[in-house]
């Protein structure tokens, strides 16, 4: 659920949507015009049926050729994952079974191609829209884009596209297909806005890959956008300011200048270690979803990848990737980051991210249902295929494997047994891999945190996922806008479970990372160090600031701070304690909060 709303302030209007891709741009709006395609039911004379079928085939072939042309034109401007999204787009246009049904309807019912095609693909769209999987709902926009392209070609119509922008502009459209976003590579598009779409949509993934700031899902507020109007797009916060006042414009320009200046100052220590004043070392790692983010992480001084969300390959490919496809992606990331470490999390599908291949049964509460390690253990061939791909990539660098959402030791033991089986299979086949590859688990469920001592003796490392740990500890759906004030990662109960997990790792002499949003929160940096986290894994953009805080903190003081925090009775008390601590260490300087 997005937190779409409208705020009026004098002559300007603020719209809140979904943060699709980071960055702030100020510019003029170009609203893509979409001519409405009216589909009428027509009966085709018997003698014209074959020519009608040929007309449909020609329209499909033309659509495929158009996307192929886009791929050629942007070759070298996008990474392999972005190209994979376009390839999945081509596969969707070339849906053989759907085309057979369309041709069957034309022959059997003598219906015109537009009506037959639109009727069938609209059923596919309705099915996806009715899904309780956010991932499947996001694919609706791709299918609608395909429908529009094929129908336009059937009618001989030309719709406006991003390449029609002649001056630097911010693009707005009700929805954008993968092909349309890909066309923005190297174009005059400064940023993009859509009425539909979410954080896991192909629009968001491609915009992020292309470094184009984006705000998505503004829904009914889209009607407020007018061609040629001036606006500010803040992709960091998911905010759009329409017709900003001179004061607001200056404020944002100052904010951009200040951010750039402070970012440059922070990057002075890019190659310096995250070392406290009294010499305690903390490893700073990045969370990534795309290959293109590796270079961005290295540019800000990341010492490795603490969390690669492998399920995003499914989002980019549109289907579960093959072992070879996975191997190529893992290898590319590992080679780019070598010799620094890369931790690959196995597919965390389920919840709001699901795969068609599993024929998932209906679940009233998917976040508490069949997801993550539960799917992997229920479908061992998928799990083995992924483990094989990761292990084969270990020859290119320093790789660790991490299992999400374990609940107890029995799951860990079964996953470990499968892991050992795959290692043995690769050895027998003579396929090289690193036999010392580390195997760890995410602690993000209260039962796992309470069993951390037992689990620790069976794995090589822990990574604490504070997002889900907060959700499951407080029984708060983090995607539910009505409950957003109850989602509190600084809640004393969450902190106690985090501290317990770190202590269990210490006793087992294994490293422990924190990789949830808390790891990138300046307020939490000293607290997590004080607990004893050996590394923090956060969005790469937050790493310079987190390092700056660590280098101003005394480790012994951080430990004392964490002890105090565990005695607090409420979230507000914890936050006040941490805010006061940061204010003190940044006395006389600009505080990061």
What is the bridge-based pairing of β-strands 239-242 and 12-16? antiparallel
| Tokens coding 320 | 């579960």
What is the bridge-based pairing of β-strands 18-21 and 214-216? antiparallel
Beta bridge partners, 356, equal: none
| Tokens coding 395 | 């020859």
Other CB atoms within a 10 A radius of the CB of residue 478 amount to 17
What is the bridge-based pairing of β-strands 24-31 and 189-194? unpaired
Sort residue 304 into left (φ over 0), alpha (ψ -120 to 50) or beta: left
Contact 142, 177 (CB under 8 A): yes
Provide the 3-class DSSP secondary structure of residue 181. Answer: helix
Sheet holding 12-16, edge to edge: 5-9, 12-16, 239-242, 230-234, 24-31, 169-173, 189-194, 214-216, 18-21
| Tokens coding 321 | 């990737």
515 is known as an active-site residue: yes
Q: Which residues contact 567 (CB under 8 A, 6 or more apart)?
A: none
Cα separation of 447 and 456, whole Å?
13
Contact 196, 215 (CB under 8 A): no
DSSP state for residue 200 in the 8-state scheme? T
Q: Which of 89, 317, 396, 515 is catalytic?
A: 515
Other CB atoms within a 10 A radius of the CB of residue 22 amount to 17
Q: Which of 202, 317, 396, 491 is catalytic?
A: 202
Residue with tokens 């309807």: 105
Distance set, CA 36 to CA 148, 175, 251 (Å):
9, 14, 40
Closest C-alpha among 315, 280, 329 to residue 530: 280
What is the bridge-based pairing of β-strands 305-309 and 12-16? unpaired
Contact 386, 415 (CB under 8 A): no
Q: Which residues are catalytic?
A: 202, 515
């Amino acid at each position: 659920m997005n937190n779409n709303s409208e705020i009026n302030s004098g002559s300007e209007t603020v719209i809140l949507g979904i943060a699709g891709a980071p960055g702030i741009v100020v510019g003029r709006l170009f609203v893509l015009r979409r001519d409405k395609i009216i589909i009428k039911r027509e009966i085709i004379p018997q003698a014209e049926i074959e020519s009608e079928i040929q007309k449909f085939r020609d329209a499909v072939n033309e659509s495929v050729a158009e996307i192929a042309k886009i791929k050629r034109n942007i070759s070298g401007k996008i990474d392999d994952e972005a190209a994979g999204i376009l390839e999945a787009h081509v596969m969707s246009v070339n849906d053989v079974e759907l085309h057979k049904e369309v041709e069957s309807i034309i022959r059997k019912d003598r219906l015109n191609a537009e009506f037959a095609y639109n009727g069938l693909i609209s059923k596919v769209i309705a099915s996806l829209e009715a899904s309780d999987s956010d991932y499947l709902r996001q694919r609706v926009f791709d299918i609608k884009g395909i429908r529009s392209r094929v129908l336009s070609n059937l009618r001989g119509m030309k719709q406006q596209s991003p390449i029609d922008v002649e001056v630097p502009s911010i693009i707005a459209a009700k929805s954008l297909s993968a092909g349309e976003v890909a066309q923005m590579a190297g174009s005059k598009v400064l940023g993009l806005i859509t009425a539909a779409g979410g954080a896991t949509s192909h629009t968001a993934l491609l915009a992020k890959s292309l470094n184009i700031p984006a705000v998505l899902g503004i829904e009914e507020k889209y009607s407020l956008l007018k061609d040629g109007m001036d606006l500010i797009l803040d992709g960091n916060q998911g905010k759009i300011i329409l017709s900003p006042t001179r004061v607001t414009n200056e404020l944002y320009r100052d904010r951009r200048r200040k951010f750039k200046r402070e970012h440059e100052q922070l990057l002075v220590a890019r190659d310096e270690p995250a070392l406290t004043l009294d010499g305690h070392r903390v490893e700073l790692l990045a969370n990534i979803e795309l290959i293109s983010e590796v270079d961005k992480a290295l540019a800000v001084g990341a010492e490795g990848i603490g969390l690669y969300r492998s399920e995003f390959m499914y989002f980019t490919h549109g289907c579960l990737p093959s072992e070879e496809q996975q191997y190529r992606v893992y290898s590319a990331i590992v080679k780019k980051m070598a010799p620094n470490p890369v931790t690959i999390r196995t597919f965390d599908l389920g919840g709001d991210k699901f795969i068609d291949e599993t024929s998932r049964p209906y679940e009233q509460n998917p976040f508490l249902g069949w997801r993550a390690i539960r799917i992997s253990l229920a479908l061992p061939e998928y799990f083995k295929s992924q483990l094989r791909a990761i292990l084969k990539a270990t020859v290119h660098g320093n790789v660790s494997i991490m299992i999400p959402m374990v609940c107890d030791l029995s799951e860990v033991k079964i996953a470990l047994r499968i892991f050992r089986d795959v290692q043995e299979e690769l050895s027998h086949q003579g396929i090289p891999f690193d036999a010392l590859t580390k195997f760890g688990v995410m602690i993000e469920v209260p039962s796992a945190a309470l069993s951390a001592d037992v689990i620790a003796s069976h794995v090589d490392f822990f990574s604490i996922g504070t997002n889900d740990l907060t959700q499951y500890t407080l029984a708060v759906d983090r995607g539910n806008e009505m409950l957003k004030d109850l989602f509190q990662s600084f809640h004393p109960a969450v902190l106690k479970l985090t501290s317990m997990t770190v202590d269990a790792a210490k006793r087992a002499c294994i490293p422990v990372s924190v990789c949830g949003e808390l790891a990138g929160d300046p307020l939490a940096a000293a607290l997590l160090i004080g607990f004893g986290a050996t590394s923090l894994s956060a969005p790469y953009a937050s790493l310079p600031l987190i390092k700056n805080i660590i280098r101003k903190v005394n480790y012994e003081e951080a430990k004392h701070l964490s002890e105090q925090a565990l005695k607090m009775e409420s979230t507000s008390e914890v936050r006040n304690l941490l805010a006061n601590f940061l204010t003190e260490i940044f006395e006389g300087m600009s505080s990061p909060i």
